[in-house]
Amino acid sequence: MRNSHKLPLAAALLAVGGPLPAQDLRLDHLEHLSLEDGLAHSTVWDVQQDRLGFLWFATSNFLQRYDGYRFEGYKEDPDDPGSISSGEVVEIYEDRQGVLWFATRSAGLNRLDRAQERFVRYRHDPADPRSLASDALQAIHQDRAGNLWVGTQAGLHRLDRETGGFVRYQHDPADAESLSHDWVWVILEDRDGDLWVGTFGGGINRLDAASRGTGAFVHYRHDPADPASLSHDAVFDLHEDRSGALWAATADGLNRFVRPTSRRAREAFVRYPHDPADPGSVGGGQLMAIHEDREGELWIASQSTGLSRLDRTGNERSARFVRYRHDPRDPYGLSSDALLNLHEDRSGILWIATRGGGVDKFDRRRERFTTYRPRPAGDGGLTGDRVWAVTEDRAGGLWAGTFDGGLSALERGSAARAGAGRERAAAGDLPSLPDDSVTSILEDGRGELWTGTYGGGLVRFGVAPARHSVRYRHDPRDARSLGSDYVRCLLADRSGRLWVGLRKAALQRLVRHPGGRQKDYFITYRHDPEDPRSLSSGYIYDLFEDRSGELWLGTSTGLDRFEAGAGVFAHHRHQPGHRDSLSSDVVTSIYEDAAGIFWIGTSAGLNRWDRAAGGEEGFRCPEDGARRD
């Protein structure tokens, strides 16, 4: 039975933080696929991409195929023997011939016939010793000779494709060289052709290439008296890295197998245990999956403590790990600490299967960003989640103005300390802000920091470190005071003059008297309905000085150019039916690039304006080169 659900595939932005403490590290802007997106279940056991590019998700109740836009679901149909035997698939495997195989939790093995979109079932038959010994499956692997190996809860099996029967390898208490435990969890063939089998309670078994016919296994078990033995007998994943080292994920730590380099040396395991007191140790709990990405990074998924990445800059014997944990305050981090599997697709995206959190998607190819987010007071981070303004001071510090959290001082490269030294509105606590809604920030040529607020006027902070403050407020009795306490934008021009854009149809220039003998005052330019060369009506969203020194204003009623000598404004507005006019009168941002091209952000998209080629008009949409209507 199939069902489908459409889903647009959003782009993911990933960022990995620097060498910070483990609790502060996270995978920024991680994209999630959840029930709301069409995933059938929030627990996903496996993710695989086939050679056609489709992604397959093994959830707890449906097998799903995903093309980036649409999910196709597969579930058992009791009336259709060509349906999958169970929707609860625990492993997906594509062999070298492009055939897809599906191991189910309790209904045997399935092979997909792509041409017919039908499934061929392989089930346990008590009357047939060449059938699967159990319908409870866990692992599938194809060796270099083309043999398909299947791990069940009743032993290891090799499929004879000509007859469709299985050769069984099972534990025999009377045979010391038989399989050590019947619950097979993982199968791996190494570069030497040896088959390694990880079991749920019997450690690791190795079946040498030369011993395939005899079925004689070499066992590696946990020995409490031997620190060079396997750390635990429950083995959930095996991986051979590009250097040839064999890694084992167990219920108690990570292990690396050391092959002897001389006759005197013996085989041994180097253990990497979890230490709750050491943030540089590997994650704890059951380690479910190991993945080496195309860049050579080794990732380890834990069923309870998130994701670990091996830091290979040091000695592998004393290796350190970077850990990533779920943070309920962080919507872009891991969706869960309970991880089940890892898969890297052909484009380099790492897919993280979780228990209860759906699937997380980590794209390391994209630009990396350090993300600053709000955190509880005293815990670092921004002081608010709606950032209206950002500026850099002469010392290289970053300042962010938030809508409801005041001003934050951000320390570069340390998201954990973001917010240190922030200024919050607090009565009687100077220097402080009169209002927590900060709309604009700039540092002038003197090193003073200016902050515009949405209701508290304008604040000037003195040169660091003192940062004493001076407030400019609207006084209805003084025509030369700040025209409104609602400051929208600020600009310091090349002459050092400060310009203030107010919420409603007013541009002001501050006249300062630094000596303090006279009071600072503002010269005001307002909209006059009777004067077509006055400032446009409406809000002022942006102020910009171009390379020639002309002042431009983005307003809610068009783009204005200020002719300072005459004190008048020239207007550029949207004109219906004129394809070379602005696409909208709501102009929110203005920028001039190195070639002298103006880029105008509006409520109806981005406009490109080449004044040299187009004269006073000629706004174009860069999407297709067409002029805007």
Mean pLDDT of 427-443: 73
Residue 310 lies in a domain: no
Q: Which residues are CB-contacts of 360 (< 8 A; sequence separation ≥ 6)?
A: 27, 30, 31, 32, 33, 334, 335, 351, 352, 354
Average pLDDT score over residue span 424-439: 61
- Clarify whether residues 494 and 581 are in a common domain: no
**Cα gap 61→352, rounded to integer Å:** 18
Instruction: Evaluate whether residue 620 is within a structural domain.
Output: yes
Same domain? 359 vs 412: no
- Among 506, 526, 546, where does a domain finish? 526
H/E element holding 523? Answer: strand 521-526
Q: Is residue 545 part of a domain?
A: yes
Answer whether residue 366 shows pLDDT above 80. Answer: no
Same domain, 490 and 554: no
From the list 422, 420, 371, 365, the residue with the least C-alpha distance to 25 is 371
Is it the case that residue 624 has pLDDT exceeding 60?
no
pLDDT band at 83 (very low <50, low <70, confident <90, very high): very high
Residue 428's pLDDT is: 32
Shared-domain flag, residues 444 and 539: no
CB proximity list for 156: less than 8 A, separation 6 or greater: 149, 150, 168, 169, 170, 179, 184, 187, 197
User: What letter would DSSP give residue 536?
Assistant: P
Per-residue pLDDT at 611 exceeds 50: yes
pLDDT at 398: 81
Confidence tier at 368 by pLDDT (50, 70, 90): low
Look at 63 and 619; give whichever has higher pLDDT.
63
Q: 294-334, pLDDT tens digit by residue? A: 888 899 999 999 999 998 766 666 688 989 899 887 777 88
Residue 394 lies in a domain: yes
pLDDT value at 17 more than 50: no
What pLDDT is recorded for position 518?
79
> Is it the case that residue 375 has pLDDT exceeding 80?
no
CA 198/CA 191 separation, integer angstroms: 17
Give the count of domains, the chain: 3
Domain boundary among 346, 363, 380: 363
Q: What mean pLDDT comes out for the span 202-225? A: 90
Q: Is the pLDDT of residue 10 over 90?
A: no
584: domain range?
A: 528-629
**Per the domain annotation, does 494 fall within a domain?**
yes
* pLDDT for the residue 272: 93
Q: How far apart are CA 135 and CA 39, in angstroms?
A: 26
To the nearest whole number, what is the mean pLDDT of the chain? 84
Residue 464 lies in a domain: yes
261 within some domain = no
Decide if pLDDT at 9 tops 80.
no
The 10s digit of each residue's pLDDT in 26-38 is: 455 567 888 988 8
Q: How many CB atoms lie within 10 A of CB 412?
A: 12
Mark whether 393 and 359 lie in a shared domain.
Answer: no
Q: What percent of the chain has pLDDT over 90?
A: 57
Across 261-276, average pLDDT: 87
Residue 234 inside a domain? The answer is: no
Please tell me the predicted confidence (pLDDT) of residue 415. 34
Are the C-beta atoms of residues 589 and 598 closer than 8 Å to each other?
no
Averaged pLDDT, 539-550: 93
The pLDDT value given to residue 147: 92
Taking the model in full, what pTM does it have? 0.60
Tell me which of 19-23, 526-530, 567-571, 610-614 is least confident. Answer: 19-23
- 611 and 593 in contact (C-beta within 8 Å)? no
pLDDT of residue 592: 93
Higher pLDDT among residues 294 and 265, named by residue: 294
pLDDT: which is higher, 369 or 43: 43
Report the share of the chain in percent with pLDDT over 70. 85
| pLDDT value of position 22 | 35
The whole-number average pLDDT for the span 601-626 is 73
Q: What is the CATH number of the domain that holds 94?
A: 2.130.10.10
Pick the last residue of a domain from 334, 363, 392.
363
Q: Cα separation of 409 and 418, whole Å?
A: 7
Give the pLDDT confidence score for residue 27 in this predicted structure: 54
Q: Could you tell me which of 67, 64, 69, 29 has the C-alpha nearest to residue 46?
A: 64
